Amino acid sequence: MVITIDRPKKRNAINAEITEAIDLALNELDDDPDLWAGVITGTPTMFSAGTDMSSRESRSTDRGGEYGLIRRQRIKPLIAAVEGNALGGGFEIALACDLIVASTTARFALPEVQRGVIATSGALFRAMRALPINIAREMLIAGTVLDAYRAYQLGLVCEVTDPEQACAAAVALAERICAASPHSVQQTLGALNRQLAQDDAAGWEATRIAVEAILASEDMQEGLAAFFEKRSPEWKGR
């Protein structure tokens, strides 16, 4: 199955409608015994800019959590095929997948602190699992951007392609996975995920504590106001 986030006028930002569509597609991937692997991608110039800041509707589902994906208990492989920017929640979608394929146009970043907020959809623990801790820390607190080659060198990305070829390469990788026993693949992923479950629980608890502090902060209000007013924020430090 190939799932395409196709909302280019909004930089493929995730709102309630996109969340529901992702959830429905992944439910089908999970439940259809004839589907053995999936690919999630964006448009040729943008993977996803993350949360649609103008949308106030829920971007979570019972089965998948944030974006219909972030907390989903999956045993079928899901590959992110990244073209262009994977920013904030867009990067967190990629981190929630099992593998990442990226074209040379790909850029990965977690710019939340520049808006007075923090990463809430798994990056606070998945980034340091997928990357060296100091690189993850730099991305989270400085908003540093990784290009595709740097991400490949650091082990985040498993293959770099020419522009507009990431999805084709991800499908080819999925086909190689599907040449193996689906039962063996699913049991392998299940075993890996069981080993990570305790770390995930601690990561979500740490994220919850940080989010509560942010929601009560003046800096969050200022950061969001500055974002919508297209100006530089004036931080209060509290």
**Closest Cα partner for 106 from 167, 196, 17, 57?**
167
Q: How far apart are the C-alpha atoms of 44 and 148, rounded to whole Å?
A: 15
Across the range 175-185, mean pLDDT stands at: 98
Strand-strand pairing, 159-161 and 107-109: unpaired
55 pLDDT band, cuts 50/70/90, is confident
Give the model's pLDDT for residue 25.
98
| Percent with pLDDT over 70 in the chain | 100
pLDDT at 54 over 90: no
Asked about 92 being catalytic, the answer comes back as: yes
Instruction: State residue 53's pLDDT score.
Output: 83
Query: Parallel, antiparallel, or unpaired for β 60-61 and 65-66?
Result: antiparallel
Query: Which residue in the list 20, 66, 83, 92 is annotated as catalytic?
Result: 92
Structural domains in the chain plus CATH codes: 2-187 (3.90.226.10)
From 28, 66, 83, 112, active-site residue: 112
Phi/psi for 220 (5° steps) reads: -65, -45
What pLDDT digit, counting tens, does each position of 187-233 carry?
999 999 999 999 999 999 999 999 999 999 999 999 989 988 999 99
pTM for the model stands at 0.96
CA-to-CA separations, 5 to 22, 31, 76, in angstroms, rounded: 8, 21, 20
Report in angstroms the alpha-carbon separations of 195 from 76, 96, 183, 200, 208: 16, 15, 19, 10, 22
Q: Is 20 a catalytic residue?
A: no
| Nearest-angstrom CA–CA distance, 93 and 72 | 11
Per-residue model confidence (pLDDT) at position 57: 82
pLDDT tens-digit map of 74-114:
999 999 999 999 999 999 999 999 999 999 999 999 999 99
pLDDT value at position 58?
Answer: 81
CA angle 3, 105, 55 (to 5 degrees): 50
